[in-house]
A = this chain, B = another copy of it.
Amino acid sequence: MINELGRQARAAGRVLAGLTGQTKRELLLTMADEVQRHVSPILSANGDDMAQARSEGVSGALLDRLLLTEDRVRAMADGLRSVARLPDPVGMITGGWTLPNGIRLQRVRVPLGVIAVIYEARPNVTADAAGLCLKSGNSALLRGSSFALRSNTSIGAALQVALTSHGLPAGAVQVMEDTSREGTKALMQAKEWVDLLVPRGGPGLIAAIEADATVPFVIDGAGNCHVYVDAAADLAMAGRIVFNAKVQRPGVCNAAESLVIHEAVAEEFLPGMARRLSEAGVELRGDERACSLADELVPATEDDWGTEYHDMIMSVRVVGDLDAAIDHILTYGTGHTEAIVTNDVSAATRFTREIDAAAVMVNASTRFTDGEQFGFGAEIGISTQKLHVRGPMGLEALTSERYILFGDGQVRQ
């Protein structure tokens, strides 16, 4: 099963790798049109998925994520159009020089080949992931949730119509029908066929991939992000940044989970900050010194320091100096995003040098770690690993490089 899908994906990938940027752009625009043209079958398939999910007791946010509407289908198509407009990541010469023997060397950005995406019950990811894979010259093997299988298959069929109309193999985008645990494990271990596996889901999916995957993957991991308010912070600025980092969208990975305050400013800063956060509905869990400074705090446990709440909760620690702040963050952080608020150049320098995270902010909210904000146009996720790609992943994360050497008969001595 996986071998047949893999073979088709591999063969299609070879065709995609040779496409010009213009062809890929036109292909994605056709894909967008076909998704909109197929709105009726897509909504009908989604209706069936919704009915079954309801009958199996799915409700709330999960059910809402599964739901497609005419507007959501249009948004899916518009997403494809905006990826279509991005510059082609393939073919860029990322370096080049001439060897002493006269061989001209180029390092060129090339597609990876076949990208597998495992995602949860959000059918829009089907179009989204397919668009990103094709734009970067790769085939897509898409394994969504069993709850969304009819929706995903219907969207996949629309995308395949677009491929066929451009004379391209339908194997370039394949929605996997087998969403069983065994089928998914086979995909995670299809080393012959899968060049990169991108998980788009929660901690359960990440854990499964870390346990079972033998194909290369990039992890979009947890964000236990801190804001450190230094002794030399502009406290009004610190208040705005902490509030924004915690409250503006608490459910995302670049929201702050923990506030670390230098003791020199804790007494002045924390009471007002605690009141403001508390009034906004944030539950505050502090260490002993923090708790002694503001009534809004309850005592934190050791577990709090390492927890990504994804919620209106924040841990608060008062530290004696910058070293203690850095130690705390290196101990409990997840290497996603860490921020310092300070006007002290040397504190900012040390923080940016010593904090080992994908993104380190000086005097800015942690919420800016984001492909859109960074200007990548599209984001596949935010890598918390150190190899291949770190931080927000744009189209380049879906490519590799190749050395091309042009000689005129050189041989090695």
Contact = CB atoms under 8 A, between A and B. Distances in A.
B18 A113 contact: no
Contacts of A368: 99, 103, 405, 407, 410, 412
A14 B330 contact: yes
Contacts of A405: 359-362, 364, 368
A357 interface: yes
Contacts of A369: 403
Contact of A17 (B195, B356, B387, B410): B356
A365 B411 contact: yes
Most buried by B among A248, A357, A388: A388
A234 interface: yes
A406 B358 CA distance: 14
A385 interface: yes
A244 interface: yes
* Copies of this chain, tallied across the complex: 2
Interface in A219-263: 234, 237, 240-241, 243-245, 248-249
A201 interface: no
A401 interface: yes
A4 interface: no
A373 B405 CA distance: 12
A188 B100 CA distance: 39
A97 B394 CA distance: 15
Contacts of A110: 356
Question: Is chain A's binding surface mostly helix, strand, loop or mixed?
Answer: mixed
A216 interface: yes
Interface residues on A, range: 35 or more
A363 interface: yes
A109 to B, nearest CB: 11
Interface string A339-379: 00000000010001110111111111101110001110000
Contacts of A365: 407, 410-412
Given A103-B368, A237-B409, A403 B391 contact: yes
A390 interface: yes
A362 B404 contact: yes
A65 interface: no
Interface of A: 14, 17-18, 97, 99-100, 103, 105, 110, 112-113, 195-196, 210, 214, 216, 218, 234, 237, 240-241, 243-245, 248-249, 330, 348, 352-354, 356-365, 367-369, 373-375, 385-388, 390-391, 400-412
27 contacts: A14-B356, A100-B375, A196-B386, A196-B387, A210-B214, A216-B387, A218-B387, A234-B409, A240-B409, A240-B411, A241-B411, A249-B412, A359-B403, A359-B405, A360-B404, A362-B404, A362-B405, A363-B407, A363-B408, A363-B409, A364-B407, A365-B407, A365-B411, A368-B412, A369-B403, A374-B403, A391-B401
Q: What are the 7 closest A-B residue pairs judged by CB atoms, nearest first?
A: A364-B407, A244-B411, A367-B412, A386-B400, A237-B409, A387-B388, A359-B403
